[in-house]
Structure 1
Amino acid sequence: MATNDHQAIGAWLASKSPDSVAGNLSSTQRSYRKEAERLLLWSILERKKALSSLAAEDAAAYQGFLVDPPPAWCGPRHHQRWSPMWRPLEGPLTPVALRQSLIILKSLFAFLMRQRYVMGSPFAAVALPPDPRRPLGSSRTLTFAQWDHIDTLLQDHADTEPGRRLRRGMRWLYATGLRVAEITSVRCEDLKQVAYKTADGTMASGWLLSVTGRGGRSREVPVPAELVEELGDELARHGFERQVGAISNQGVPVMARFDSALERPPGWSASGLYQAIKAFLAQAAARLEGVDAQQLRKASTHWLRHTHGSHALQGREGQTPVSIEVVQNNLGHVSIGTTSMYFTTDERKKAMRGFWGVPRSEAKKAVAPSEGNTGS
């Protein structure tokens, strides 16, 4: 039984992933901790009361605080939580972020009420901002041309261990649609080679990656053979078996840091991968102008996930789009409705045009005689 607010928050976080190791929080738990600790700091420093003593008027005031926080509460994202430069916020929350924050805090107090730590929830009467329900990644997706620009720069990137690791990270994220926390947690033994029948009936082999995603849900995601071969080359370069599935490679992370002095290479952290990709995208943006440059400066690791979903469903010119069921599995979406939000308006209209056929008015224009050619 929790005896103070900090312990109560800890119990709530533990309930979100009962099997997690102490101190090794999942990405979901870290997100929840951020919201809870932000409220805890605000209640103590701004309202001069315990989190468990907050009332409805405090919850309303906190919502206003998130929309317009004092400058002293804001700072750059990259500072670690233990740094004196760290701040709880980067700036005012967007409507989407505010909605998510309030949903999490409502969940926190619902848990505390079930544990009889508090008698009621101060957030019970707080209305959630409307959900815009815009297409996923509608403003956070790279175009095919932008990704090709990035991929070309990756190919010419420095041939060093960190450079090859960065190339591996970005290409795996784009090709698979995995979350950063997922790609940094998988190991060589999570890859397996499988045989399958192609469309023309011939047999071929490919690779599947076993992933444990949110909520402990497992799935298998296809991985291009080229990426697995590159991983094998990197393993061999550092004295490991080239065959990725070799027993001696068990425990080696796919995003291993081979520059470590340790006998077994540690995995690249999610934050380390994030920062490296942000820095590279800023360099890539410097070679572009206008909207393309602006997009790349804003882009992050999660943009690669959105881009995977959008590009797979669109299909490149001359290539067949990936079925929505396969993309749903790749991204680990529980609902296919979530995956369908990657379809843009243009894609929906083109798909239905194929079903409806060409309108009669356009068909008539297509066969109408051109001016000056009225026939005999």
Structure 2
Amino acid sequence: MLKASSDAEALRSFLMGYQNTSLTYQTYLKELERLVLWCAHVQKISISDITSDDITAYQQFLMLPEPKALWCGNKRSKRLKSGEVNPDWRPFASELSPTSIKKTMSILDSFFNYLVQTQYLKGNPLSVNKRRKKRTQPQTIERWLEKTEINTVLEALSEMTEPQADAFSIIRAKYIIHTLFYTGLRLSELTNHRMGDFTLIEGAWYLKVIGKGEKPRNIVVVDEYLDALTEFRKAIDCPGLPAFNEKMPLIPMQDKLNPIKQRRIDQILKWTFEAGARRYETLANQEIEEGPKHLRRASKLRKASAHWLRHSYGTYLVKSGCPIEKVKTLMGHSDISTTMIYVHIATNDLLDSAQGLSLQEED
């Protein structure tokens, strides 16, 4: 059922089905490219030779790509402006988290199912791993930022002066932080939308998003975020509120015509989180008793990324009392079990209940 005489043609056929859904296409392309490179350079096999044991070995590799210098590095464009392959490009930024590995396996499962359904392969090597899967503990989330940490980053940006960064870079960095926290957008969604996606419906503002799997959703624009949006727009000499179908990118370059790339947003966030970390280190020297807490938060910020702010969005929606089904809709999740990880905030009740525990004798 598939006009393919090689693995390359079969892979291309699979990807062709996603060419009209750019976000999904780029994600699938990235994961399949990584698998092909691993097969060629580590296992010395082809795609059609992969067994269940190879899949298990690949999962282990994703946890710790070795040799690290060959596989991991700072994000770089795959090709130079000349069109040649960039020798500094690497398939991974670092080892993948358990959540990312689960996502990778889901994509590969779809790929191999396609090859089985089109009768290119006799079986899916991931199907055995599914049967082996053990019961796991309920997921919790640690990679999120508390309000005090986000505000410290924003304060560090506000205190920057001209030699450290130009005014536009500072105001845009603050706007990116606000946008990620108040909307919960994925990084890919952040770079693929425009100001015209803000819409006014019966006096209330929403952000229309085409998300993962090309699924549409409307995100409520709360008053605090509307203020941050207005402040940013006025700072770059635009009317305070977006115009109908306005073409300016949601996160623009300084020319206000072109969107900045995901890689550039990663760089901006790394810079802003580093500024927040340095501020915490300064506080640690000033407030000796709180010093250890400040230093821990500094180390945490240096690990943070855009997705941590998405997790903060989900966490604080739950904490504010938003029903879990509504949180699922606002975040664009397809499965309620994914949203349930944000219920971890309920542990605050456990903290209050357990505070009375003590070894001290009662008077």
The two structures share one fold, judged by TM-score above 0.5: yes
Specify the structure having the higher radius of gyration (Cα): 1
TM-score (norm 2): 0.77
Name the counterpart of 2:49.
53
Q: Which runs of 5+ in 2 are unaligned?
A: 80-85, 281-293, 357-362
- Between stretches 266-275 and 237-246, larger displacement belongs to 237-246
Instruction: Give how far 1:236 is off.
Output: 5.5
Distance 1:183 1:337 in 2: 24
Instruction: Give how far 1:179 is off.
Output: 1.2
Distance 2:236 2:346 in 1: 47
The alpha-carbon distance between structure 1 residues 130 and 14, as it changes in their structure 2 partners (threshold 3 A), is farther
Name the counterpart of 1:278.
270
Name the counterpart of 1:318.
none
2:314 equivalent to 1:309: yes
The alpha-carbon distance between structure 1 residues 238 and 349, as it changes in their structure 2 partners (threshold 3 A), is closer
- Between stretches 110-119 and 63-72, larger displacement belongs to 63-72
Q: In the alignment, is the contact (CA less than 8 A) between 2:39 and 2:46 conserved in 1?
A: yes
2:155 equivalent to 1:152: yes
The alpha-carbon distance between structure 1 residues 273 and 133, as it changes in their structure 2 partners (threshold 3 A), is farther
Name the counterpart of 1:10.
12
Alignment of 1:317-336 (within 5 A): 321-336=321-336
Amino acid at match of 2:75: H
Aligned residue pairs, count: 329
Name the counterpart of 1:123.
126
Q: In the alignment, is the contact (CA less than 8 A) between 2:171 and 2:235 conserved in 1?
A: no
The alpha-carbon distance between structure 1 residues 41 and 165, as it changes in their structure 2 partners (threshold 3 A), is same
Instruction: Give how far 1:32 is off.
Output: 2.6
Amino acid at match of 2:306: T
Name the counterpart of 2:298.
293
Given the alignment, which residue of 247, 250, 267 partners 1:251? 247
Alignment of 1:101-120 (within 5 A): 101-120=104-123
Distance 2:41 2:70 in 1: 11
For residues 21-57 of structure 1, give each alpha carbon's deviation from its aligned partner in whole angstroms, at most 9, with x where no partner exists: xxxx31x433332332222122223343322233445
Distance 2:345 2:195 in 1: 40
The alpha-carbon distance between structure 1 residues 338 and 30, as it changes in their structure 2 partners (threshold 3 A), is same
Distance 1:177 1:251 in 2: 22
- Between stretches 338-347 and 291-300, larger displacement belongs to 338-347
Instruction: Give how far 1:109 is off.
Output: 1.2
Amino acid at match of 1:220: N
Name the counterpart of 1:43.
39
The alpha-carbon distance between structure 1 residues 348 and 55, as it changes in their structure 2 partners (threshold 3 A), is same
Distance 2:250 2:93 in 1: 32
Higher relative contact order (CA 8 A, sep 6+): 2
Question: Helix, strand or coil for the counterpart of 2:196?
Answer: helix
Distance 2:98 2:127 in 1: 19
Q: In the alignment, is the contact (CA less than 8 A) between 1:208 and 1:223 conserved in 2?
A: yes
Q: In the alignment, is the contact (CA less than 8 A) between 1:95 and 1:129 conserved in 2?
A: no
Instruction: Give how far 1:252 is off.
Output: 1.3
For residues 305-328 of structure 1, give each alpha carbon's deviation from its aligned partner in whole angstroms, at most 9, with x where no partner exists: 10111122223xxxxx33434332
Distance 2:133 2:303 in 1: 24
Question: Helix, strand or coil for the counterpart of 1:209?
Answer: strand
The alpha-carbon distance between structure 1 residues 176 and 58, as it changes in their structure 2 partners (threshold 3 A), is closer
2:66 equivalent to 1:70: yes
Given the alignment, which residue of 193, 209, 232 partners 1:186? 193
Name the counterpart of 1:166.
173
Distance 1:149 1:243 in 2: 27
Taking only aligned residues, the RMSD between alpha carbons, in angstroms, comes to 3.2
For residues 337-376 of structure 1, give each alpha carbon's deviation from its aligned partner in whole angstroms, at most 9, with x where no partner exists: 432321126448479x9xxxx9xxx9xxxxxxxx9xxxxx
2:341 equivalent to 1:341: yes
Question: Helix, strand or coil for the counterpart of 2:87?
Answer: coil
Q: In the alignment, is the contact (CA less than 8 A) between 2:157 and 2:272 conserved in 1?
A: no
* Identity of matched residues, %: 27
Q: Give the number of the structure whose residues are more often helix, by fraction.
A: 2
The alpha-carbon distance between structure 1 residues 30 and 77, as it changes in their structure 2 partners (threshold 3 A), is farther
The alpha-carbon distance between structure 1 residues 99 and 151, as it changes in their structure 2 partners (threshold 3 A), is same
Distance 2:220 2:303 in 1: 28
Question: Helix, strand or coil for the counterpart of 1:126?
Answer: helix
Amino acid at match of 2:71: C
Amino acid at match of 1:79: R
TM-score (norm 1): 0.75
Distance 2:309 2:71 in 1: 27
Question: Helix, strand or coil for the counterpart of 1:344?
Answer: helix
Distance 1:66 1:242 in 2: 46
